[in-house]
Structures are given as C-alpha cells and as structure tokens.
Amino acid sequence: MNQARGFTLIEMAIVLVIMTILIGGLAMPLSAQIQARRIAETSRIMEEAREAIIGYAMTNPAVPVNSRHLPCPDIDGNGTEDRAGNACAGVLGAIATGFLPWVDLGVASQDAWGNRLRYAVVAELAANNLGFSIGNPLPAQPLVACSNNACAAAAPDVANNLAFVLVSHGPNGWGAQNINNPAGTLLAAPNGPDEVANLDADRIYVSRAPTQPDVAAGEFDDRLSWISFPQLIPRVCPTGCSP
C-alpha cells in the first residue's frame, strides 16, 4: 500500500523563496507604473493650471487702458488669491509667492500626490493698477529657471524673463502643503539644496532631472511649469488688448 507523501520543510522553504521572488518582481514594475501615472497626471494638472492663469489674464483688465493682469498667489490656503489693495499680499522684493489660487481659476486643488501647487508671479504683472499690454518692456526683475541653486539671477541657464512659475514638490513632497494638513502646516523641509531653492521665495527656481538622495547634488524631484513674458503677451493679447 502506497503512503501519501507530503512536502518537507526544505521543499516548502524553497517554494516560499520562489513565491517571494516572483511577487517582488511583479511589485516593482507595478510601483513604477503607478509613479509614472502620477507624474503624467501632475503634468496635466500643471498644464491646465498654466492655461487657466493665462485665461484669467485675458479676462481681467487692469486700470491702464487696454492692459491685463495676472492672478495673485493664495497666501492663507483657502484657494483664492490674496490682495492688499491693488497689489498682491506676501510680496518679497519684486516677486509674490504662495499657492495656486485654484478656486479662482477653477482648476484642480492639488497635484497627484495630494499637495498644493506653489505659484510665484512677478508682482508688477499681477497688480491690477499696473498690468501689462503689448509694447510693455520686459519686467526689470523677472523670475528665472536654472539647473542648480548656485545659478545667478542675471545669468540663468534654463529660462529667463519668466512671468510666473508653478511648482509641484513631486513624489517626496518635501516642503509641500498637503491637502490633509491644516493650512500653514508644511511637510518636512527638503534636504537637497536645489529643492530648498524652490522654497526660498526669491527669483531663482531650479528645474532639472530627478536625482536620488545619495548623489552629490542631493535629492530632487520637483516639477516646474512656467511662461515667459514674451510668450505671455501674444497669448493674452493676440490682436491687442481691448477694454
């Protein structure tokens, strides 16, 4: 009479090892796919926000005849722009910084990781008693994009004469305002100097390829979108702004 033979402990251990390897091999590509979808979604959200800002300018005249103005940033976290009279609140030097006024613009309130988009704008372009129109000179102190934090505002190596900049803090979210946290409660500050540069509210923003924490330049996964002043004018006033 034949006796039923079960698995030995060694055989079961080998099966478990094989299953672990197979599951691990499937999990990594799935994680990468999810991250890729979130990156693509965030790019779409930022593009829609960029177009909404341009649309805002097209429909919001400034006091000077035939001029327009950009929206101010959201400072208090309620999704609406914050003004102090005609000018933006929270102006530092020539730049107003805060978060995207998503309520006023009618766009998504956060990126694919649940964080608010940061928004910086040349203050004079958002002042509704100044504005801009065809024939305006370039802003004296525009925003600029550089490939690293050591870049000088006078010599940017990525983009110059920017009217506004949008920033997503990417997958790591360092320094971001998450939608699940009270306004003003930011996530942990970034360690990478280039990500720090996108939080210091000056004219210089860093846009470059992502890097891991163990590289010399430090961790970086911020994503940026912008429009230059020369590009903005024909978009807002293709045939000349009218009252």
Question: Which stretch of DSSP H or E encloses residue 105?
Answer: helix 102-105
Would 241 be classed as within a structural domain? no
Q: How confident is the model at residue 134 (pLDDT cuts 50, 70, 90)?
A: confident
Q: Is the pLDDT of residue 204 over 90?
A: yes
**Could you tell me how far CA 144 lies from the centroid of its own chain?**
14
| 203: containing domain | 9-236
- Over residues 107-133, mean pLDDT: 95
pLDDT band at 26 (very low <50, low <70, confident <90, very high): low
The reply to whether 167 falls in a domain is yes
Looking at the domain assignment, is residue 3 inside a domain? no
Q: Is residue 4 part of a domain?
A: no
HSE (side-chain half, CA atoms, 13 Å) at 222: 32
Residue 196 is assigned to a structural domain of this protein: yes
Would 58 be classed as within a structural domain?
yes
Query: Does 141 fall in a domain?
Result: yes
Q: Is the distance from CB of 123 to CB of 171 less than 8 angstroms?
A: no
Residue 160 is given by DSSP the state E
Residue type, 81: E
Structure tokens at 214: 């163990």
Category of 170 on φ-ψ map: left (φ > 0), alpha (ψ -120 to 50) or beta: left
- Reduced to 3 states, what is the DSSP secondary structure of residue 10? helix
Mean pLDDT (whole number) for 161-166: 97
Q: Residue 242 domain-assigned?
A: no
| pLDDT at 18 > cutoff 80 | no
The contacts of residue 163 (CB under 8 Å, 6+ apart) are: 70, 121, 122, 125, 139, 142, 143, 226, 227, 228, 229, 232
- In the predicted model, is pLDDT for residue 3 greater than 80? no
Q: 75, 130, 66, 65: which is closest to 97 by C-alpha?
A: 75
Number of domains in the chain: 1
Mean pLDDT confidence for 93-116: 96
156/217 Cα distance (integer angstroms): 18
d(CA 1, CA 146): 81
